[in-house]
A and B are shown apart, each in its own frame.
Chain A
């Protein structure tokens, strides 16, 4: 079955550094999402993306965050200047409203550790 893939699986960075997390959604999906899960806490919505623009974002998704679909396959999350509290597992997801409507398909996650 097609799956969402994420890279890197784990990244360690220094506070203040820029980080880019990459995702390859399922090929025929058109809606893309980023969620994050701080250790021991619930999964939180960050942003949704459709037709090359953000369709919705949460309060967490401030000016330090950005998303991009630089080509036909990748979907990236950039954190401009990382903070300690950005340490979390970041999940990418995609969906197909014409197929299995209502269902998000999640990647395995990228664990970000900010020192």
Chain B
């Protein structure tokens, strides 16, 4: 069985500051890892994903995440926060090709302080 733990249900950062949202996973097979963003009253939008290959992946809106197998982590970062980044962020894991069912974390609400 797979699981995802997101540390911190709420994170607040100042505009222009570093954004760091933490995600740890558990998987019995090499995982596919995802970050989704959900803006208020909207659906889930894929930010970035790791499947195979380069462990540092870049996504939309200046976000990136690094897959660290030894730490079973896939933390999301952005060097400089923007007001438009305020949203709920979900980390998710799947078994990948052949089983795309996603297991989501509980989400982290990101607030940007002007």
Beta-carbon contact of B44 and A103 below 8 Å:
no
Beta-carbon contact of A44 and B43 below 8 Å:
no
Question: Could you say which of B34, B45, B106 contacts A41, with CB atoms under 8 Å apart?
Answer: B106
Given contacts A41-B106, A102-B49, contact A107 B32 (CB under 8 A): no
Separation of A103 and B43 alpha carbons in the complex (Å): 15
Segment at the A interface, from B16-24, B55-63, B76-84, B97-105: B97-105
Max count, chain A CB within 10 A of own CB: residue among B49, B51, B101:
B101
Question: Could you say which of A33, A42, A108 contacts B90, with CB atoms under 8 Å apart?
Answer: A42
Beta-carbon contact of B96 and A102 below 8 Å:
yes
A67 to chain B, nearest CB (A): 14
Beta-carbon contact of A104 and B104 below 8 Å:
no
Chain A binding surface, main DSSP class:
strand
Separation of A41 and B90 alpha carbons in the complex (Å): 11
Q: Does A87 contact B (CB under 8 A)?
A: no
Beta-carbon contact of A109 and B43 below 8 Å:
yes
Interface residues of A in 85-115 (CB under 8 A from B): 91, 95, 97, 101-109
Beta-carbon contact of B90 and A103 below 8 Å:
no
B24 to chain A, nearest CB (A): 15
Beta-carbon contact of B104 and A91 below 8 Å:
no
Please classify how large the interface on chain A is, using the bins under 10, 10 to 19, 20 to 34, 35 or more.
20 to 34
Given contacts A43-B90, A102-B51, contact A97 B43 (CB under 8 A): no
Separation of A48 and B98 alpha carbons in the complex (Å): 12
A49 to chain B, nearest CB (A): 11
Q: Does A56 contact B (CB under 8 A)?
A: yes
Question: Could you say which of A42, A45, A106, A108 contacts B101, with CB atoms under 8 Å apart?
Answer: A45
Contact sample, A vs B, 22 pairs, CB 8 Å cutoff: A33-B100, A41-B106, A42-B106, A43-B90, A43-B102, A43-B104, A45-B101, A56-B101, A91-B43, A91-B44, A97-B97, A97-B98, A101-B51, A101-B96, A102-B32, A102-B51, A102-B94, A102-B100, A103-B49, A104-B100, A106-B36, A107-B43
Residues of chain B whose beta carbon lies under 8 Å from any beta carbon of chain A? 32, 34, 36, 42-46, 49, 51, 90, 92, 94, 96-98, 100-107
Residues of chain A whose beta carbon lies under 8 Å from any beta carbon of chain B? 31, 33, 35, 41-45, 48, 56, 91, 95, 97, 101-109
